[in-house]
Structure 1
Amino acid sequence: MKKQLFILFLILSANCYAQEDAWVYFNDKPDAEYYLANPLEMLSQRALDRRTNQGIALDELDVPIHEDYVSQTDAASGITVIAKSKWLNAVHVRGTIEDISALTSLSFVQSIEFADKTINTPGRPAVSARTSTVNNKLDVQENYDYGMSTSQIDMLNGQVLHQQDYTGEGMIIAVMDSGFPGVDTAQPFQNLFDNNLILGGYNFVDGSNDIYTADNHGTYVLSTMGGFVEGALVGTAPNASYYLFITEDTSSENPVEESYWVEAAEVADSLGVDVINTSLGYYNYDNPNYNYPYESVNGQTAFMTRGADIAFSRGMIVVISAGNNGNNADPYIEIPADAFNVLTVGSVSYDEARSYFSSIGPTGDGRIKPDVMAQGSAAIFAKPDGTITFGNGTSFSSPITAGLVTCLWQAFPEKTNTEIMDLVKGSADRFTNPDFEYGYGIPDFAFALNELTVKEVAKTDFILYPNPANDVINIAFPDDFGQASITIYNSLGQVVINETITEESFLSIKELTKGIYSYIIQSENKTKSGKLIKE
């Protein structure tokens, strides 16, 4: 297993383990009919609304796991149930091989999958897994002074979303990580608390509500999305709401953390979360028999990977860090970055060159990964004491991107998660020529915003694009309009351009100085006004 954290860990090994980990899968859900007839018993109204908006029907995956099955399994001799998943209808157990195998005598048990793959397939030669020393921790409304964080936002043209007042308001992000100390006290997070934007969370590792504890990594990650210190650090979604979930246990390397993550994703779904960020990745564990061989990083093997794809099928967007293996002998992504429907994010430096540590593709089954890239070298973040500093890791490039994905979705809430994901990838600078190091490249959220705006608005309204613009702008006309006039004003209210335009024409703004302008488009019986940004 590998955790995307900053400090250097050594992969530990052991010769024998008295206790084994396994997933026990159940046959059915006896209460399915009741829950499907009473959906508010299993999902919040916000979650149901998200499904309705995207045309996603409820199904048996949404039904809670049958608690009597869980309790009977837990009561079996020598067995401890550590986590459970309704999506996969399974529990994560610990016990001896003999005690776990004996669970097949329970009538409701369908199958058992040991984390040690050699137990599942006796006599089959073990596939050599990757082992290495890994570097683990790694209308114009808002004109923020981003300070040191300018590069990581401007690279993705995220400032344009903010300038159009898309800062995450009304959207919910779930952060699955290793701990959030200082988030309740440090100044960079004060804006979240002043505006009641921390909605709650849970510590799955300790089984408690104490989320402002444990490892600092989650604090770092959250700060790149929700942090706000004018002139120093502005997160990519400073006005989004957040749930904070601890699923990563830094004291050990065990596949139960995959199960904690899936359980947290299920809770996030039930609460109506829109976007999940996970700056975590796994392939090596304390018990080397649990390690993932490269060919199993294929989008359909790992428990967590399968859970991530189900999360997408429920209507959420899952953003995952690619990993920090890029300079190792085995430089590839790990799970769950291999999932088919997650947005896997690699790292570049300020000059848009791939960071040496950023994990690459392909997946074990030959697919393009990562999907997109964002700044992860010398990224700006906040520590638990409020100090603003910089660090390296795809742990940063993922949340920087996740925040802007959230803001883009805020702009077009009627769009599905598939449409938003496709648009983000389609805006990237290598979309027509992807590769295994950069994926589809660096996304352009201004392009994505304009692309959707033109498509949605131009049918019934005038739309000026691109915005921001360099030398030329176009104006899309609504149906049945062929001619109009446009007047552009500077910040003093002075007219700098006044021209007649047609749908086939474009307008040069080359002579305008950089800045923010107002415009009015007028036809015989229709008027449109707004802001224009000249870059």
Structure 2
Amino acid sequence: MVFSRFFSGLALALGLSASVAPTPAEASSRPAAPGPASPAPGTVRKHLIYFKDKAGTPHQLSRPQTFLSARAVQRRQRQGIALLPRDLPVSPAYVQQVKAVPGAQLWYTSRWFNAAVVACDSATLQQLQALPCVRGARTLNRGLPGSRKRGEGEQTSTAPESTAANPYGKAYPQAQMLGAVRMHEAGFRGEGLQIAVFDAGFPGVNTAPAFAALRNEQRLASTFNFVDKNKAVYQRNSHGTHCLSTMAANEPGVYIGTAPQATYHLCITEDSYSEHPVEEANWLIAAEYADSAGVDIISSSLGYTTFDYPSIDYTYADLNGRTAISTRAATLAARVGMLVVNSAGNEGNNTWRYITAPADADSILTVGAVDSLRGRASFSSRGPTADGRIKPNLAAMGEQTAIVTPDGRVNRGNGTSYSCPVLAGMVAGFWQANPQLTAQQVISFLQRSGSRAATPNDEVGYGIPDFVQAYNLANPGAPLATQAASAQQNLFIYPNPVKETELYLQLAVGFQGVPLRVRIYDARGALVAEEQVAATTAAAVRLQPGVLVKGVYTCTVSAGREQRTVRFVKL
């Protein structure tokens, strides 16, 4: 594979030895290599050491293959993005100077920040700052782990049993809401796209049936744990497993995610036991890793505002797109052609209420949450950014979202952590269908397809995107399934909304004179009514679904091999 030709350069870029550098397509089944020994409390801390320049680097912009994979170079070329000095690895001579200081433990190096993550005590830090190659330093963690750890605030619950007669199982509503079901029917399931998932752990991904296809088809391109500096990712917090499942799970009849055929890189950047800016530095290093590997999309369900050391908490004024470490990293990831999808945050009901870093980054797709009725979830963080930009950009289902647990069960969870990957999977299918687009053009077309495209706001941005509408906007001369779309226009439910018990189905021409099978699903994808309609030449037929409770419903009408889907609301 192409990865084997660049990982020595990638190891150098990360400040790793060849024996520690993560290798793609390598499952972390063997015991994890131990990380650095725990430092004495209050003595050894991690710092971001900034270098003055990149003098003496053996790498050249004209020969990017020494530090980037062929796929990474192709991504830039395809989007007309030039290589810049920031892409070059840090100077090896400077790295050696840091290593030569007694007590300095080099963890990683950063190309984009021209910096190194170093663990040391305060006396050693002074020696490092005195080096002629160093221009400054920032401390990344202080004190002992505290009680101020702030996660995304998700809640999970057991999903009720469903008789949904569809291959998506309980994941049907969240996929249908974005047009991902139509996207899959059109043949776009993320094939050929690579997605890096940044999170706190992925237990069960190596064993759960929902991820069997991902494993068996060798679409787990790489794993790396940036917290412990090893390859072991099937451990720690299950949050990453839940998020990954909304895209990658593929167990027909039980659960299908929005990008079930994409290739994935699993990265632990988040330490769920504490909250320090070092996690943002992990995000930065992981983004550079993803860049070097040729990743197309980053899905990050992470956010930062408060830390265990309160004096370094971010303020709302800091959410200006250029202050937080993770925000600056996300912006640079976007600058090299990756499409960054990040959760808006779950602060909508709290005093903070606003988005969290890196959701304020420029040129990324920040995702808010809605419920099954397409209304904004009350917990979903709001915009705008401190400098007045619209955030979130788009929204997807994040309330009562179906997720897969490490033991393979399907539960439901609340959080923009889930709306983010649900949408990231649709992004993969849309980009697969439109490979000529740049990452920024993909974001633009999705925003133009949003349910609030004409009147974006600071709660859901441009609203809920739709794959078919976005595709047709990007391909005005060859819209998706033109004939089917035309027939769809004449197949609808009325009255809509439905107030009483009378419900009629207006028949398209292709659905007259043939027997029909009509199935009605509720917002969770459960089959609530089914009937056979005899062949008729009438323009409409009355349906008999029985008593329907208030909510949004999907009506699927089948005529032989032809099938159409329409939605209606019961008041």
Give the TM-score taking structure 1 as reference length.
Answer: 0.79
The Cα shift of 1:211 comes to: 1.6
Find 1:471's aligned residue among 477, 490, 504. Answer: 490
Query: After superposition, what is the alpha-carbon deviation per residue over 1:149-175, rounded to whole angstroms, capped at 9, x for unaligned?
Result: 111111111111111010001111111
1:130-529 counterparts in 2 under 5 A? Answer: 136-138=153-155, 145-455=167-477, 457=478, 464=483, 466=485, 469-471=488-490, 511=539, 515=557
The Cα shift of 1:100 comes to: 2.9
Structure 1 residue identity aligned to 2:107: I
Query: After superposition, what is the alpha-carbon deviation per residue over 1:36-78, rounded to whole angstroms, capped at 9, x for unaligned?
Result: 2321111111111111111111121221122332232244355
Q: Which residue matches 1:524?
A: none
- Secondary structure, in 3 states, of the residue corresponding to 1:320? strand
CA separation in 1, counterparts of 2:279 and 2:192?
Answer: 30
Asked whether 1:100 is paired with 2:125, we answer: yes
The Cα shift of 1:104 comes to: 3.4
Structure 1 residue identity aligned to 2:245: S
CA separation in 1, counterparts of 2:481 and 2:274?
Answer: 58
| 1:17–1:287 contact (8 Å) kept in structure 2 | no
Query: After superposition, what is the alpha-carbon deviation per residue over 1:96-146, rounded to whole angstroms, capped at 9, x for unaligned?
Result: 5564344332221123334599xxxxxxxxxxxxx89776345xxxx9621
CA separation in 2, counterparts of 1:420 and 1:465?
Answer: 24
CA separation in 1, counterparts of 2:512 and 2:183?
Answer: 21
Find 1:83's aligned residue among 108, 117, 136. Answer: 108
- Secondary structure, in 3 states, of the residue corresponding to 2:352? coil
- RMSD of aligned alpha carbons: 3.1
In structure 2, do the counterparts of structure 1 residues 464 and 452 end up closer, same or farther at CA, with 3 Å as the change threshold? Answer: farther
CA separation in 1, counterparts of 2:564 and 2:382?
Answer: 36
In structure 2, do the counterparts of structure 1 residues 17 and 241 end up closer, same or farther at CA, with 3 Å as the change threshold? Answer: same
In structure 2, do the counterparts of structure 1 residues 512 and 277 end up closer, same or farther at CA, with 3 Å as the change threshold? Answer: farther
| 2:51–2:136 contact (8 Å) kept in structure 1 | yes
The Cα shift of 1:340 comes to: 0.7
Asked whether 1:53 is paired with 2:78, we answer: yes
- Secondary structure, in 3 states, of the residue corresponding to 1:148? coil
| 2:59–2:89 contact (8 Å) kept in structure 1 | no
Query: After superposition, what is the alpha-carbon deviation per residue over 1:196-228, rounded to whole angstroms, capped at 9, x for unaligned?
Result: 111121111111111211111111111000012
Q: Which residue matches 1:7?
A: none
In structure 2, do the counterparts of structure 1 residues 532 and 314 end up closer, same or farther at CA, with 3 Å as the change threshold? Answer: farther
| 2:150–2:275 contact (8 Å) kept in structure 1 | no
In structure 2, do the counterparts of structure 1 residues 23 and 491 end up closer, same or farther at CA, with 3 Å as the change threshold? Answer: farther
The Cα shift of 1:232 comes to: 2.6
| 1:157–1:446 contact (8 Å) kept in structure 2 | yes
Query: After superposition, what is the alpha-carbon deviation per residue over 1:172-195, rounded to whole angstroms, capped at 9, x for unaligned?
Result: 111111111110111110111121
| 1:468–1:534 contact (8 Å) kept in structure 2 | no
| 2:221–2:263 contact (8 Å) kept in structure 1 | yes
| 1:186–1:386 contact (8 Å) kept in structure 2 | yes
The number of equivalent residue pairs is 462
| 2:179–2:468 contact (8 Å) kept in structure 1 | yes
In structure 2, do the counterparts of structure 1 residues 201 and 423 end up closer, same or farther at CA, with 3 Å as the change threshold? Answer: same
Q: Which residue matches 2:48?
A: 23
Structure 1 residue identity aligned to 2:489: N
Structure 1 residue identity aligned to 2:380: S
In structure 2, do the counterparts of structure 1 residues 468 and 189 end up closer, same or farther at CA, with 3 Å as the change threshold? Answer: farther
In structure 2, do the counterparts of structure 1 residues 135 and 331 end up closer, same or farther at CA, with 3 Å as the change threshold? Answer: same
- Secondary structure, in 3 states, of the residue corresponding to 1:252? coil
| 2:401–2:413 contact (8 Å) kept in structure 1 | yes
| 1:83–1:259 contact (8 Å) kept in structure 2 | no
In structure 2, do the counterparts of structure 1 residues 22 and 132 end up closer, same or farther at CA, with 3 Å as the change threshold? Answer: closer
CA separation in 2, counterparts of 1:133 and 1:314?
Answer: 30
The Cα shift of 1:320 comes to: 0.2
- Secondary structure, in 3 states, of the residue corresponding to 1:35? coil
Query: After superposition, what is the alpha-carbon deviation per residue over 1:478-529, rounded to whole angstroms, capped at 9, x for unaligned?
Result: xxxxxxxxx98679999xxxxxxxxxxxxxxx9599657899xxxxxxxxxx
CA separation in 2, counterparts of 1:21 and 1:468?
Answer: 62
| 1:262–1:307 contact (8 Å) kept in structure 2 | yes
Q: Which residue matches 1:66?
A: 91
In structure 2, do the counterparts of structure 1 residues 424 and 334 end up closer, same or farther at CA, with 3 Å as the change threshold? Answer: same
Asked whether 1:43 is paired with 2:100, we answer: no
In structure 2, do the counterparts of structure 1 residues 450 and 465 end up closer, same or farther at CA, with 3 Å as the change threshold? Answer: farther
Asked whether 1:111 is paired with 2:133, we answer: no
Unaligned runs of 5+ in 2: 1-40, 143-147, 156-164, 493-507, 516-537, 542-555, 567-571
CA separation in 2, counterparts of 1:169 and 1:321?
Answer: 24
- Secondary structure, in 3 states, of the residue corresponding to 2:170? helix
Q: Which residue matches 2:34?
A: none
| 1:56–1:314 contact (8 Å) kept in structure 2 | yes
Structure 2 residue identity aligned to 1:470: Q
In structure 2, do the counterparts of structure 1 residues 462 and 152 end up closer, same or farther at CA, with 3 Å as the change threshold? Answer: closer
Give the TM-score taking structure 2 as reference length.
Answer: 0.74
| 1:116–1:289 contact (8 Å) kept in structure 2 | no
Structure 2 residue identity aligned to 1:448: A
In structure 2, do the counterparts of structure 1 residues 491 and 47 end up closer, same or farther at CA, with 3 Å as the change threshold? Answer: farther
Unaligned runs of 5+ in 1: 1-15, 118-130, 474-486, 495-509, 520-530
In structure 2, do the counterparts of structure 1 residues 49 and 147 end up closer, same or farther at CA, with 3 Å as the change threshold? Answer: same
| 2:487–2:509 contact (8 Å) kept in structure 1 | no
In structure 2, do the counterparts of structure 1 residues 183 and 327 end up closer, same or farther at CA, with 3 Å as the change threshold? Answer: same
Further displaced range: 107-116 or 63-72: 107-116
